[in-house]
Amino acid sequence: MVVEYTDSQKRIIEQVDEFCDSHVTEEQVRQWVSFGDVPLSFNDDLRQTKLWDYILPPVLGGVDDRHVERATIIERFMYRAGATLPLLSDMMSFAFLSTMRDKSQKEILEELTTRNRLAFSIAFTESSSGSTSGTVGTTVSWSGTAAHLDGEKTFVSGGQFMPEVLVLANDPIFGAKDGGLSLWLVPVDAPGVQTFPIDAVGQQMLCPAVVSFEGVKLDLDWQIQTEGKLDSMLKRMYELGRLFVSASSLGLAEAALDDAVNYAGQRMVKGRLLSSLPDIQQKIVEMEARVREMQMFVYDAASVMGDGDETHLNVALMKHEVPAKAVQVASDAMQIFGARGYTSAVRAGRIWRDCRGNQVAQGTDEVMTHIASKFIVKKYRDR
């Protein structure tokens, strides 16, 4: 089936298209990828649109629990750009803020409102760890009369440029109510904090960085008060992040499909249109089928976001399937373009690289298999 957009989604698509008509061209996107960011005017102008009400979390005045609309914004922006815009990491940071308890929100809100823009990056990921106290390597310890932070986080979007970094740490001292974990909003210019850019294969506009902490003396005012709810906050944040990453993959795949079909419909090979060749027709059909499947996964998950088993299963299945299908769509688009697809002359290669990164971001395919299988077994056992 074809996913039918709601009237609200159709309005959002119109608004995104109107914004992109005046703010996004392929030449600009190439410059942004090379530079590693969008210009400040892009974000400032976006804040003046009605779209901003959906991008902001409710605690900052945004529309409450409109995950379908938020996914649509991401899908359409990535489709128009044919690249992963920083909007993705901004919305994931906002999503985390929306999961936080009242006390926590107030602390982060003070940081946000002083600059009228995001002022922190999220540093949760480590090279070989998960999100439990036994696997998080970054640790809070007590030395002398002060607490110190040591460890290293990787793939921190915008980690070099945000003034603060929100750090998840193994914390036997202050994390007793949260299973041995705690959150700290650490200034990047604090003594002992260092940042290093990561030369990523794709998603250059997210500016991934390594952030290391060596004997960083912690000010106790930097700790985020999670009120014993950190585990539920993390689970909620990861699920929202997986929705947004999958929506991004969907938009990128749609861009690759659009480009490839238009090219095949114009390219002549020995007197025949490329789109008339059986092998190319097979690829186009498979690409269209995959995109339709991706749409169903994304919007099924977005429409039932909550705390129940069905949500957890839908999100895990979506994240397992959508980025992988997007990679295949982008790969087929490169194949249709032939040698040009392996150059920067067209968007297909850039899209493929960004989609491939989404198979890892917010939980790998293998992690999603582990999560989904548990809920599938429980579902059929309880029948």
- Report pLDDT digits (tens) over 208-220: 999 999 999 999 9
Are both 257 and 375 inside the same structural domain? yes
Domain shared by 214 and 236, yes or no: no
Q: In the predicted model, what is the mean pLDDT of residues 163-184?
A: 93
CATH number for the domain spanning 108: value is 1.10.540.10
Q: Whole-number mean pLDDT of the chain?
A: 91
State whether 191 and 236 are in the same domain.
no
Q: Is residue 242 part of a domain?
A: yes
What pLDDT score does 316 carry?
95
Same domain, 188 and 93: no
Q: What is the CATH number of the domain that holds 145?
A: 2.40.110.10
Give pLDDT, residue 85: 96
The pLDDT of residue 100 is above 80 = no
Mean pLDDT of 119-138: 78
User: Which residues make Cβ contacts (< 8 Å) with residue 147, sequence separation at least 6?
Assistant: 140, 141, 173, 174, 217, 218, 220
CATH number of residue 273's parent domain: 1.20.140.10
Q: Are residues 263 and 375 in the same domain?
A: yes
Structure tokens at 58: 């409710």
Q: Are strands 120-123 and 164-170 parallel, antiparallel or unpaired?
A: parallel
- Residues 97, 200 share a domain: no
The pLDDT confidence band at residue 130, using thresholds 50, 70 and 90, is low
Q: Which residues of 222-234 are buried (b: 16+ CB within 10 A; e: fewer)?
A: bbbbbeebbeebb
Residue 305: predicted pLDDT: 83
Residue 111, pLDDT score: 67
Residue 189 within a domain: yes
Query: pLDDT tens digits, residue range 4-35?
Result: 899 999 999 999 999 999 999 999 999 999 99
| 65 or 165, greater pLDDT | 165
* Statement to judge: residues 305 and 333 lie in one domain: yes
Q: For the ranges 180-189, 230-239, 332-341, which has the lowest average pLDDT? A: 230-239
What is the predicted pLDDT for the residue at 60? 77
The domain boundary, picked from 224, 244, 261, lies at 224
Question: For the segment 43-72, what is each residue's pLDDT rounded down to a tens digit?
Answer: 899 999 999 998 887 777 888 778 999 999
Query: Is residue 150 in some structural domain?
Result: yes
Which domain, by its residues, includes 177?
120-224
Tell me if 67 is assigned to some domain: yes
pLDDT tens, residue by residue, 310-328:
889 999 999 999 999 999 9
Residue 247 and residue 109 in one domain: no
On whether both 331 and 345 belong to a single domain, the answer is: yes
In whole angstroms, give the CA distance from residue 339 to residue 335: 8
Q: Indicate the number of domains in the chain.
A: 3
Both 187 and 326 in a single domain?
no
User: Considering the chain, what percentage of its residues have pLDDT values greater than 70?
Assistant: 95
User: Residue 1 falls within a domain, yes or no?
Assistant: no
Torsion, Cα 220 182 108 235, to 10 degrees, reads: -170
- Residue 204 shares a structural domain with residue 243: no
pTM, 2 dp: 0.93
The pLDDT assigned to 170 comes to 94
- Whether 10 and 71 have beta carbons less than 8 Å apart is answered as no
Residue 272: pLDDT above 60? yes
Distance CA 294, CA 291 (A): 5
Identify the domain boundary among 224, 239, 268.
Answer: 224
Confidence (pLDDT) at 186 = 95
Domain boundary residue, one of 192, 224, 256: 224
Is 313 part of any domain?
yes
Q: What percent of the chain has pLDDT over 90?
A: 69
- Does 2 fall in a domain? no
Residue 369 has pLDDT above 90, yes or no: yes
8 A C-beta contact, residue 368 and residue 320: yes
Is 262 strand, coil or helix? helix
**Is 174 inside a domain boundary?**
yes
Residues 216 and 128 grouped into a single domain: yes
